[in-house]
Amino acid sequence: MKKLTKFGIEFVPQEACWKTVFYSIQSERRGFDYLWITDHFNNRNVYATLAAIAIYTNRIKMGPGVTNPFLSHPVVTAQAVASINEMAPGRTVCGIGAGDATTLRMLGVAPQKVLTSVKEATEIIRRLTAGENVEMKGAFSVAGAKLNFKVKERIPIYVGAQGPKMLALAGAIGDGVLINASSAMDIQLALNHVRGGASEAGRNMDEIDVTAYTSFSVDDDEKNAIEAACSVVAFIVAGSPQEILERHGIPQADAQSIRDALGRKEWGSAFSSVTEEMLSAFSICGTPDMCSEKIITLLKLGVTQFVVGSPIGPNVRKSIDTIGERILPGLK
């Protein structure tokens, strides 16, 4: 088993900015190594949030997890992460992916050439933050773009991926891959694609930070942890393609029932329809000991960074303390 060297945490900036900053300070003090802030137009701005966090933290690495090239041009993303890096030197990372289909649909955005767009966006961000003058004609047209300020530290780029082709692309070009999965089965299958992409590009897997980006919920009371996880898992099930549902033995009719309830905004009905099979497939939840066991299973597969994602637990502040006191010490 590879020894775990990195532990990350994800925050959705849906609460007042000061709360996310508070949780971030707490996470740094509790031993987390990475902090990922989600990027959706209907929450607080990801870079404004990161800037505030940068002021009040000293060690933890941070970045968007993840942004996409369809709402923010990669030149603008390069400018943003370079600016954050000036506030948090050597602590800035950038997560980029295809974007959230539901959010994009709300804005009438239908992504085209997704793989090419993510590949080119990664190149543009990497080159601009390295101080280069960028010219490109492809999914993006860039005619001589260059930052007017120097980025002293290299900014690692992580590719968020689920599908086989995007996972292979992450293996080929990413400093890291953010695998949006919580089960050992899904992580193992994902890693096969990442390794394939790395091998084809002539890369060694040691060059890639393999990150399990999970839905996580911990509490001393297992029922409370499960109840908190149900709301997130319901949305994951609703957005999962049939292939993934079948892989975990989840009937399409059950998933459709949850989709319909969410569509009608019948939250109670949707969340109460989440089954044990769904929780097992799409989350890591339970008591600290239960969660630790599941994390160890993923580490044995080759995961090098484990991200505690939403909802974290029924009480975020308490759950961060629980993870820092009773889970991290046995894994780091």
Q: 214 and 225 share a domain?
A: no
**The pLDDT of residue 282 is above 50:** yes
d(CA 78, CA 332): 32
Total domains present in the chain: 2
Which domain, by its residues, includes 293? 6-219+287-330
What average pLDDT does the chain have?
Answer: 95
Rounded average pLDDT over 318-323:
98
Q: Quick one: average pLDDT of 266-272?
A: 96
Segment 113-118 mean pLDDT? 97
- The pLDDT of residue 105: 83
pLDDT tens, position by position, 199-251 = 999 999 999 999 999 999 999 999 999 999 999 999 999 888 898 999 999 99
Q: How far is CA 109 from the centre of its chain?
A: 21
Asked if 170 and 243 sit in the same domain, the reply is no
Whether the CB-CB separation of 87 and 119 falls below 8 Å is answered with: no
Q: At what angle do helices 184-200 and 164-173 cross, to 10 degrees?
A: 50
Residues 68 and 138 in one domain: yes
Q: Same domain for 129 and 15?
A: yes
DSSP three-state, residue 130? coil
Does residue 2 surpass a pLDDT of 60?
A: no
For residues 49 and 74, membership in a common domain is answered with yes
pLDDT for 5 equals 76
How confident is residue 1, by pLDDT bands cut at 50, 70 and 90? very low
pTM of the entire predicted model = 0.95
User: Does 1 reside within a domain?
Assistant: no
For residues 200 and 233, membership in a common domain is answered with: no
Tens-place pLDDT, residues 98-114: 998 778 888 999 999 99
